[in-house]
Amino acid sequence: MKKILLFLLVAFGGFANAQYVVNYKKVADTYFENKDYYAASTFYKKALKITGDSTQAILPYGMERKSATDDKVIDDYEGSIYNLAESSRLYREFNEAEKYYGIAITFTNTRFRKALFYYGESLRANKKFNLAIDAFQQFIQRNPGDALAKDAQKEIESCKFAIEEMRFPRMVQVKKMPANVNGLGSNYAPVKINNELYFTSSRPIAVGSKKDMVKTDAGEVQVSTKTNPFINNIYAAKGELTSADIAVRKIDIIFPKSMEVAAATFTPDGNTVYFTAWKNKEKYAIYSSKKTGDKWSDPQPVGLQVNSKDFNSTQPFVTSDGKFLLFSSDRSGGYGKYDLWYCAVREDGSLGQAVNFGPAINTEDDERAPYYNTLTKKLLFSTDGRIGFGGLDFFESEGDLVNWSSPKNLGYPFNSSKDDLYFTATDDKGTKGYISSDRESSCCLELFEVKKEYLSIAGLLTDCKTKLPLAGADVTLTNAEGPQKMTTGTDGIYRFKVDSKRPIKLLFAKDNYFAITKNYPYEELAKADTLIYKDYCLSPFKLGIPIALENVYYEFNSAELTEPSKKVLDFLIPIMEDNPEMEIELGSHTDNIGTDEYNLDLSNRRAKSCTDYLESKGIAAARLTSKGYGESMPIAPNEIIVKRKKKDNPEGRAKNRRTEFKVTKK
């Protein structure tokens, strides 16, 4: 563990009069209790005498504690360091959090035991995955009974997942939107309708400050606070969104005083907007406003089917057909903290009863910001309840609001080691859109444009004998994401799309044909742009019909295979590997030279040599049968009649000395 250097403020003799600024600490504590973590961190740094060019805290420290006063100074110091780390983490400044948790993990007071867990979390957020794994493992070892030990194990799995995923990035372009859109504060929850981009921003609405007096045990301290705080509101941007001078304005809805609003979603006609709204410490609720002409109505809560004073309902999304409202809520009846729910939107605009998405989607943690594509039947949402990169990650599931496929992580760089949420599509198939993420920020969500790209794996499959397109063949592509399957049509064409350049295996199979497998390593895929096109063919066979293996030779008067013959038998190895259920017989034949008994014995031994060789190459003995036929099954005459006399036929005998294989079980 890296040791933290702490500077000596005063000589040992001046210990009791150390200039530790108690007032600043009290101010910081007040901000911390009020969850104003940015302000809290600022004043903890003042209390600890941390300046912009230093990461070290000043501690009156240099000898053993000798009095209760000394203990209090040390406790104040440790508490301030820990709360500074906490404040940094809670306003998502993980570089700062990593520094100060790195100090806090050296404290022996057990009330700071969680520092090691959050140190690991900060390392993970900063993409230091291996160091994060070490920190989480240490936390589990030291605190096996702690409630966070389970979370630490999940974090370890997520770090391992992230390391592997980042080796093979998905084919996704991620581009940060211009500064006018990504203004001060958080910018998130984008949605595009009628050529306008609506999004939520907590940018300050004016510049100004006032002086407030904060009371402490040592008196009053004057602090500066903003007269216009960072208030969440809905904004619109129209025109070319990549332009640096794009104009941004507030949505034309008059909201009640002190109400904050976020995460707008529109009905297909653009005349009704739903959004999250709240005041001060009230619960989050979903409101709506209707547009008549150019004027929006006063916001109204959507009703008790969705809202309640006892729980939060947030992040609404209306499906493109206008039939369903999806949202996130911590209401009772769920599976975790925040779950995904939906309700029907009736023809009169009223809402039906809320229905939970179920355990296939929801976890014991948070599920947030749903998006559903009615064309592709795909649900995109964010969760911190599954193995991912850490924080909130995008996952995708296919279904019909009742039945869902197992959610899949959308990988890197769609996801990052920080929070990623609020996807919205700008095309029908969901390949283009916007997301919100704090991946490049020290505090806040920002808007990014995303575009999914794909690599096509395609080609023509034919019959090896006829050279004609092969219809009805099953083709399976398998990579780390799982299998994709298709059946060739009359044109024999196969085609797949993949969204990363992870290694790929293609399996081609059809009844009465030998299946083949083709592997595409990362090195080959990395060189490709958008298409890899390769043609293959399948060889036909008939059950029980022998197929000659050309040029299988043995040593003279022996069953020992020659080296060239082994290379011929190697032809069977990929066939056996690609057809794992198949069983074959290796049959050996002789000509008529020698006695029947001798030829039968020799052919048995030669056939056995073939199966022994294949076994040595890893083919299971249970799949192999050897049989010698001697001279009993010639395929050409050993002798021919010339002028009524028998004459040796060397060419015929050469054809009869053969080794064959036939499929006995497919």
Q: In this structure, what DSSP letter does residue 457 have?
A: E
**Contact (CB, 8 A) for 399 and 377:** yes
Euclidean distance between CA atoms 381 and 379, whole angstroms = 7
Q: What local confidence, expressed as pLDDT, does residue 643 receive?
A: 75
Buried/exposed code over 237-274 (b: 16+ C-beta within 10 A; e: otherwise):
beeebeeeebebeebebebeeebbbbbbbbbeeeebbb
Contacts of 379 (CB under 8 A, 6+ apart): 361, 370, 371, 372, 373, 396, 397, 398, 399, 404
**Contact (CB, 8 A) for 588 and 631:** no
Among 504, 514, 654, which residue's Cα sits nearest to residue 571? 514
Write out the two tokens for 18.
Answer: 């150390």
Euclidean distance between CA atoms 394 and 408, whole angstroms = 9
Q: Which amino acid is at 552?
A: V
Q: What local confidence, expressed as pLDDT, does residue 246 receive?
A: 77
Q: What local confidence, expressed as pLDDT, does residue 377 receive?
A: 97
Euclidean distance between CA atoms 8 and 295, whole angstroms = 65
Q: What local confidence, expressed as pLDDT, does residue 441 receive?
A: 87
**Contact (CB, 8 A) for 404 and 385:** no
Q: What local confidence, expressed as pLDDT, does residue 155 receive?
A: 97
pTM, to two decimals: 0.78
Reduced to 3 states (helix: H, G, I; strand: E, B; else coil), residue 459 is strand
- Indicate if the alpha-carbon torsion angle 34, 36, 37, 43 is positive or negative: negative
The gap from C-alpha 79 to its chain's centroid, in whole angstroms, comes to: 37
Q: What local confidence, expressed as pLDDT, does residue 556 receive?
A: 61
Q: Which amino acid is at 109?
A: N
Contacts of 489 (CB under 8 A, 6+ apart): 471
Q: What local confidence, expressed as pLDDT, does residue 179 receive?
A: 86
Euclidean distance between CA atoms 358 and 399, whole angstroms = 12
Q: What local confidence, expressed as pLDDT, does residue 59 receive?
A: 42
With a pLDDT cut of 70, the percent of the chain lying above it is 88
Q: What local confidence, expressed as pLDDT, does residue 135 receive?
A: 98
Q: What local confidence, expressed as pLDDT, does residue 241 receive?
A: 67
Q: What local confidence, expressed as pLDDT, does residue 242 receive?
A: 64
Reduced to 3 states (helix: H, G, I; strand: E, B; else coil), residue 367 is strand
Euclidean distance between CA atoms 208 and 194, whole angstroms = 36
DSSP codes joined into one string, 218-267: TEEEEEEEESS----EEEEEES-TT-TT--EEE-S--PPTTEEEEEEEE-
- The total number of residues shown for the chain amounts to 666
Euclidean distance between CA atoms 651 and 178, whole angstroms = 82
Q: Give Rg (Cα) of the chain.
A: 36
Q: What local confidence, expressed as pLDDT, does residue 5 receive?
A: 25
Element spanning 596, H or E: helix 596-616
Contacts of 161 (CB under 8 A, 6+ apart): 387, 388, 389, 409
Q: Which domains does the chain have, with CATH numbers?
A: 7-166 (1.25.40.10), 172-206+231-452 (2.120.10.30), 455-538 (2.60.40.1120), 547-665 (3.30.1330.60)
Question: CA-CA-CA-CA torsion for 642, 647, 652, 654, nearest 10 degrees?
Answer: -150
| Residues of the chain scoring pLDDT < 70 | 1-22, 51-71, 205-229, 240-245, 555-556
Q: Which amino acid is at 266?
A: F
Question: The sheet that has 547-549: what strands, in order across it?
Answer: 547-549, 659-665, 583-589, 624-630
CA distances from 263 to 297, 359, 368 (A): 18, 25, 11
Among 648, 646, 651, which residue's Cα sits nearest to residue 636? 651
